[in-house]
Structure 1
Amino acid sequence: MVAQGFTVDLDKPLAFQVGHLGEAYDEWVHQPIVTKEGPRFFHSDFWEFLTLTVWWAVPVIWLPVVVWCISMSVSMGCSFPEIVSLVALGIFIWTFIEYCLHRFLFHMKTKSYWGNTAHYLIHGYHHKHPMDHLRLVFPPALTAIMCFPLWNLAKLIATPSTAPALFGGGLLGYVMYDLTHYYLHHANPTIPVTKSLKKSHLNHHFRIQDKGYGVTSSLWDIVFGTLPTTKALKRAQQKY
């Protein structure tokens, strides 16, 4: 369903079309098109290029930053047990950030032209084209922007010597998140943990989009009551 008098043309760049859907945008964006190749966003080749990211770019770009951050704390006197604890804490904090971003930003409700456009570019496209293999991980530019508030948070809650390792742990958590996300969409897990994560995430995409916000863990869904119940999943299965 689209707004009266307007239909999205999937053969044309989508970024500046979806805003015209108005209140119908939310329904439209949650009707997935399952193809590995995604749509074009922009007429400009430059801006289009910035939206495309191969999965391996994430570890190649950001793991060296993680190592550098940890080495900074080591050089300032942090012991091995302290480093391990700080990295683990950073990963734990990231799981909470991941949940909050996914629930409150990525799934915000919009109906204005620019609200719909912004939401589509942030996360809506992923629900419309969930198997687009070049738009499953964060573009490096977006991650770099995200690093600024995360670094300031680390400096706020840690000492000068421990903040780099804490930030490095959070960044490592992000890398784990993005790689896990790609894996859940394009791999066939063979162990119970990853099978469960894949099932939960695909339920989020294709059955109950307003539940199951955790990707790397269901911890915060359990804490905040957003883990879908068996009854809700059965109702959603009957619906679709």
Structure 2
Amino acid sequence: MDRILSADATPIACRRRGEGPPLVLVGGALSTAATDAPLAALLAPRFTVVTYDRRGRGASGSGAEGVRREIEDLAAVVAAAGPDARVFGMASGGALALEAAAAGLPVELLAVYEPPYTPGASGLRAKAARTDRLHRLLAAGDRGAAVELFLAGTGVDAATVARMRRAPLWPGLEALAHTLAYDDAVLGDGAVPAERFAAVTARTLVVCGGFSSAGARAATRTLAEALPRARHRTLTGQLREVAPQVLAPVLADFFARDAYVRQAS
């Protein structure tokens, strides 16, 4: 993997594969560049796909925390990817990509899959409670419980979590537990920040799974309505953990066709 320096000199590890227009993938909670590898491999025949370890993960440095720092990291990756880079963000990585676009990241084509906003009074209360518990668990050094809290919030049942704890992947998840605070921060209070996102000028595709929860699907529609140049798409039969082979052609079509439309207009 290559390393580039973010604005605060934190090294960010990234990997480039494929040929064609640049496309940067932004992973969600507990993910690394390796997590995005299956999707990247499917997109590589049509794009130069750049995956990266977000701050505090994998081969990247830790540095100072905060949404602004993660925006700077993404800006550095996009700059290194090359002119006219497209961006796709998965889950909270989608929220990060949107925050970066609202802050002025020079991207004209953007796609996101189910940024986990929780609008509505009950959703905001639940988000506040999870944030408080997450910070208390991390402060106590209970990484395992922090991961469990995140998984439960995504709908993973207790029996499955118990099996995951005995699986070889669990130590890797615990190693990333501190970064759950980063993903929590990028979501703010859980509401879709409509006023801030009104500044996003990129053509944006907001995607959800047809079998995702009603709340998740509603949140993506609220998000699409808040973005000035967005359209919404539902992938039939898909859940929060979307199949790469289903998502890849949708992204490829959007990033290729919308680029043509933009150039022609």
Please classify the TM superposition score into its range, dividing by the shorter chain length.
under 0.3
TM-score, normalised via structure 1 length: 0.24
Task: Please state which structure has a larger fraction of its residues in helix.
Answer: 1
Which protein is bigger by CA-based radius of gyration?
Answer: 1
- Higher relative contact order (CA closer than 8 Å, sequence separation 6+): 1
